[in-house]
Amino acid sequence: MTELLEPRAIGRDTVRRDGEAKVRGTATYAIETPVQHPAYVHPVQATVPLGRITGIDTSAAEAIEGVVAVLTHENAERLASTDDREFAVLQSDEVAFRGQVVAVVVAETSELARQGADAVEVTYAEQPHDSALRVDHPDLYKPEKINPSFETDTAEGDVAAAMATAHVTVEETYSTAMYHNNPLEMHATTALWDPSAEVPLTLWDSTQGVHPDRAAVCEVFGLEQEQVRVICPFVGGGFGSKGTPHAHVFLATMAARAVPGRPVKLGLTRQQMFSLVGYRTPTIQRMQLAADRTGRLQAIAIDVVEQTSRIKEFAEQTGVPTRMMYASPNRRTTHRLAALDVPVPSWMRAPGECPGMFGPEVAMDELAERLGIDPVELRIRNEPERDPETGKPWSSRNLVQCLREGAERFGWADRPPAGHREGAWLVGTGVASSVYPTMRQATSTARIRYEDGRYVAEIGAADLGTGAWTVLPQIAADALDVDEGDVEVRIGDTRYPIASVAGGSSGTNTWGSALTVAAREFRTKFGRSPADGDEVSGDVDQASKDDAHAAYAFGAQFVEVRVNVDTGELRVPRLYGVFGAGRIINPRTARSQLLGGMTMGLSMALHENSVWDTRLGQVANHDLAEYHVTVNADVGDMQAHWLDEHDPYVNVMGSKGIGEIGITGTAAAVVNAVHRATGIRIRDLPVTLDKVLTALP
């Protein structure tokens, strides 16, 4: 039990501190970094999905006036570490996936770099590739662990026996598509290698964590941390794709080292992002539910099949939410992977929970239908008293309250009957639960200094557009017991103390905890009247930590879907979410986060789909004209609400993470609403109009 900070700045609807600079266009992003006389880098990508480079002719590129250098596996520097094969750029003649970078051209302008890249002639010995995921892939294997370090499989009791004897069962297979993160700001790195400087390598990189970025670069190039500085004040979205560096960061560094003293800029194109910066694996989810006649679950099981790349494993933890969401005596989760000749999958907003709240939450709706029980009520009846996975009590679990408040706000009790028609539209309503674990990273340090009458806090944190610039000062102000205006927090630079990645919705929890430790130390050491220059650091590992409770944020999402009776076009006039996510630090940035997550969930439901061309081994629709994300016209009234939740166990702010929970469950709620409108149960995302056509009058 932790005594929570007295909220004064916390909870206030303060404006974004970085808002004005962004609106005025003065906030510089990585590619815009003002540097002297930069050169530009453009990658050449493999056009075969598997094979070897048999020849690479750079002479035409080098002959172009303005081309400074062409790097290939034949002339690029040998890296200190090639253990991570995604990072080991230009080290061999092997091509492991289509779109892999086989050369980079460095030139005086970005146009010349592109021209040079076009002029590089590469010949390949192509080998037969395998890039098609299927549930019966012969090479499915069981990974050692799933992201980041969960058990791959879990089992309790006897699911098969429960399925055989239960009053009602659901046994269905669901699938989610391949998704690409597609932040608005395309991945970019500006790099300077100046061997004569005290810090020879400077990277201005669009990243979710300057320190993790630096650690990877040091490892790959054999540099000491003191030799590298990473700077990133602003990020135009990442959604996990900037959570770890990808090939371009190492390519930019390599290019910079090839032209010492001259800065280089590498900005990926949107099309290149579809093979070089990670994506969410497609998932196939076989669900089993068994229930007694009152709707109490007797068994819940999910068997997941998904893919990874042959050169680097990423095992999405899709089955993890099934382990803790509902009470059931018999339970099973498994994960099997196919390692394919495909680009490397990675984190994308709520890895695990996002796809993993699709199959189970549609299956719950199917169960409710078979039992004739309201789907809100069915979920309430299966509320576990303790975490079914660990047996621990919940730090706070307000799923039932979220469902009830959401139902009230939405008018669930008075919802129209199945198949209801208004004019040319069939109307359906649906619900699903949301969940996301409350995580705190083990490493982060904040430094607080009293400077010119203000408190300056420094920590190498990242603001992806999420609000860190704004909420960290709120936390520091309350921790120091001063006005928010007396606090400045500086982030986004490895010159500041180490900070964890902005991922797993853990940033505010982790960095905020470090700030509160530093503030406490500061007051202990210097009292309330510090001298100019007084300075102290605090580590997150000194913050009170509770291991006795299972900590999660919960939520419920309610959707109204309209399906056109003539064309099957789908519209979502209403999408409401209610969340129990601890204390909300800033309602303005929190609402954006929750609505953004819900929008991305809606996008997953209706639109997003990286169409994998199994013949070519690449995403066919690799730009934003063809890879559709939801637009304003698709949706009407979207609302995010939250409970006034008091959780004394998570941290002294009382806050849980809110960056990812919004995307979980949304797609299931949409599918459930489409079923109520049309009678069609769509188990494979996205829900497109062709899938409902046959059900229309």
Partner 1 sequence: MKPFAFARPADAAEAVATVATEPRAVFLAGGTNLVDHLKLGVARPDLVVDVRRLTSREITDTADGGLRIGAAVTNSELAADRRVRERYPVLAQALLAGATGQLRNLATTGGNPLQRTRCVYFQDVSTPCNKREPGSGCSAVGGYTRYHAILGTSAALPDPTAPETCIATHPSDMAVALAVLDAQVQVLGPAGARTIPFAELHRLPGDDPSRDTVLEHGELITAIDLPPLPAGARSAYRKVRDRASYAFALVSVAAVVADGEVRLALGGVAHKPWRASRAEEALRGGPVADDAVRHAMDVELTTAQPQPGVDGGNGFKIPLVTRTVVATVRDLTQETQA
Residues with catalytic function: 660
Write the CB contacts of 264 (distance below 8 Å, at least 6 apart in sequence). 38, 39, 40, 41, 106, 190, 191, 192, 252, 255, 256
Q: Which stretch binds partner 1 (CB under 8 A): 30-38, 255-263, 537-545, 607-615?
A: 607-615
Least Cα distance to 259 among 195, 189, 187 occurs for 195
> Which of residues 638 and 696 has its CB atom nearest to partner 1 in the complex?
696
Q: If DSSP codes are grouped into helix, strand and coil, which group holds residue 520? A: helix
Of the candidates 375, 492, 568, 659, which one interacts with partner 1 according to CB under 8 A? 568
Contact map string, positions 60 to 89, toward partner 1, x by CB under 8 A: ------------------------------
> Which of residues 287 and 572 has its CB atom nearest to partner 1 in the complex?
572
680 binds partner 1 (CB under 8 A): no
688 binds partner 1 (CB under 8 A): yes
> Which of residues 298 and 603 has its CB atom nearest to partner 1 in the complex?
603
CB of 115 to partner 1, least distance (A): 5
CA 688, 569, 412, 558 torsion-angle sign: positive
> Which of residues 634 and 660 has its CB atom nearest to partner 1 in the complex?
634
Of the candidates 616, 638, 639, 681, which one interacts with partner 1 according to CB under 8 A? 616
* AA letter at 317: Q
571 binds partner 1 (CB under 8 A): yes
> Which of residues 114 and 523 has its CB atom nearest to partner 1 in the complex?
114
456 binds partner 1 (CB under 8 A): no
CB of 419 to partner 1, least distance (A): 18
What angle is formed at CA 152 by the lines to CA 606 and CA 610, rounded to 5 degrees? Answer: 25
Of the candidates 26, 196, 529, 632, which one interacts with partner 1 according to CB under 8 A? 632
CB of 538 to partner 1, least distance (A): 47
Whether the CB-CB separation of 21 and 27 falls below 8 Å is answered with: yes
CB of 693 to partner 1, least distance (A): 6
Q: Please give the structure tokens belonging to residue 625.
A: 């004209």
23 binds partner 1 (CB under 8 A): no
Whether the CB-CB separation of 352 and 317 falls below 8 Å is answered with: yes
45 binds partner 1 (CB under 8 A): yes
Instruction: For residue 220, list its beta bridge partners.
Output: none
Q: Which stretch binds partner 1 (CB under 8 A): 312-320, 484-492, 644-652, 688-696?
A: 688-696
Q: State how far the Cα of 315 lies from the Cα of 283, in Å rounded to an integer.
A: 11
Q: State how far the Cα of 374 lies from the Cα of 370, in Å rounded to an integer.
A: 10
Whether the CB-CB separation of 403 and 433 falls below 8 Å is answered with: yes
Contact map string, positions 99 to 138, toward partner 1, x by CB under 8 A: ------------x--xx--x--------------------
Of the candidates 136, 524, 633, 644, which one interacts with partner 1 according to CB under 8 A? 633
567 binds partner 1 (CB under 8 A): yes
Least Cα distance to 4 among 409, 396, 384 occurs for 396
Q: Please give the structure tokens belonging to residue 20.
A: 């004005």
Contact map string, positions 513 to 552, toward partner 1, x by CB under 8 A: ----------------------------------------
> Which of residues 322 and 678 has its CB atom nearest to partner 1 in the complex?
678
CB of 113 to partner 1, least distance (A): 9
Question: Residue 148: is the preceding peptide bond cis (ω within 30°)?
Answer: yes
Q: State how far the Cα of 376 lies from the Cα of 374, in Å rounded to an integer.
A: 5
* Residues of span 243-272 touching partner 1 by CB under 8 A: 271
> Which of residues 392 and 628 has its CB atom nearest to partner 1 in the complex?
628
628 binds partner 1 (CB under 8 A): yes
Q: State how far the Cα of 661 lies from the Cα of 144, in Å rounded to an integer.
A: 27
Rg, Å, the chain Cα set? 26
Q: State how far the Cα of 275 lies from the Cα of 272, in Å rounded to an integer.
A: 6
279 binds partner 1 (CB under 8 A): no
689 binds partner 1 (CB under 8 A): yes
Q: Which stretch binds partner 1 (CB under 8 A): 148-156, 194-202, 367-375, 631-639?
A: 631-639
> Which of residues 502 and 667 has its CB atom nearest to partner 1 in the complex?
667
Q: How many CA atoms lie within 13 A of 12 on its CB side?
A: 19
Q: Say if residue 136 is exposed, middle or buried (CB neighbours under 10 Å; 0-12, 13-18, 19+).
A: exposed
Of the candidates 155, 631, 646, 679, which one interacts with partner 1 according to CB under 8 A? 631
What angle is formed at CA 317 by the lines to CA 168 and CA 621, rounded to 5 degrees? Answer: 100
215 binds partner 1 (CB under 8 A): no
Instruction: For residue 202, list its beta bridge partners.
Output: 192, 229
CB of 89 to partner 1, least distance (A): 19
Q: Which stretch binds partner 1 (CB under 8 A): 226-234, 300-308, 481-489, 618-626?
A: 618-626
> Which of residues 400 and 616 has its CB atom nearest to partner 1 in the complex?
616
Of the candidates 80, 164, 424, 442, which one interacts with partner 1 according to CB under 8 A? 424
Q: State how far the Cα of 302 lies from the Cα of 334, in Å rounded to an integer.
A: 7
443 binds partner 1 (CB under 8 A): no
Q: State how far the Cα of 437 lies from the Cα of 321, in Å rounded to an integer.
A: 9
Q: Which stretch binds partner 1 (CB under 8 A): 326-334, 479-487, 502-510, 623-631?
A: 623-631
91 binds partner 1 (CB under 8 A): no
Q: If DSSP codes are grouped into helix, strand and coil, which group holds residue 394? A: strand
> Which of residues 40 and 455 has its CB atom nearest to partner 1 in the complex?
40
> Which of residues 377 and 684 has its CB atom nearest to partner 1 in the complex?
684
The conformation of residue 78, written as its DSSP 8-state character, comes to: P
Write the CB contacts of 154 (distance below 8 Å, at least 6 apart in sequence). 319, 323, 331, 332, 333, 389
CB of 631 to partner 1, least distance (A): 5
Q: State how far the Cα of 30 lies from the Cα of 187, in Å rounded to an integer.
A: 8
DSSP codes joined into one string, 248-315: HHHHHHHHHHHSTTS-EEEE--HHHHHHHS--BPPEEEEEEEEE-TT--EEEEEEEEEEEEESSS---
* AA letter at 390: T
Q: Which stretch binds partner 1 (CB under 8 A): 68-76, 146-154, 179-187, 624-632?
A: 624-632
Q: State how far the Cα of 686 lies from the Cα of 677, in Å rounded to an integer.
A: 17
Of the candidates 106, 302, 606, 674, which one interacts with partner 1 according to CB under 8 A? 606
CB of 263 to partner 1, least distance (A): 22
> Which of residues 21 and 696 has its CB atom nearest to partner 1 in the complex?
696
Of the candidates 140, 418, 620, 638, which one interacts with partner 1 according to CB under 8 A? 620
Residues within the interface to partner 1 (CB under 8 A): 45, 47, 111, 114-115, 118, 271, 424, 566-569, 571, 606-607, 609, 611-616, 620-623, 625-626, 628, 630-634, 688-690, 693, 696
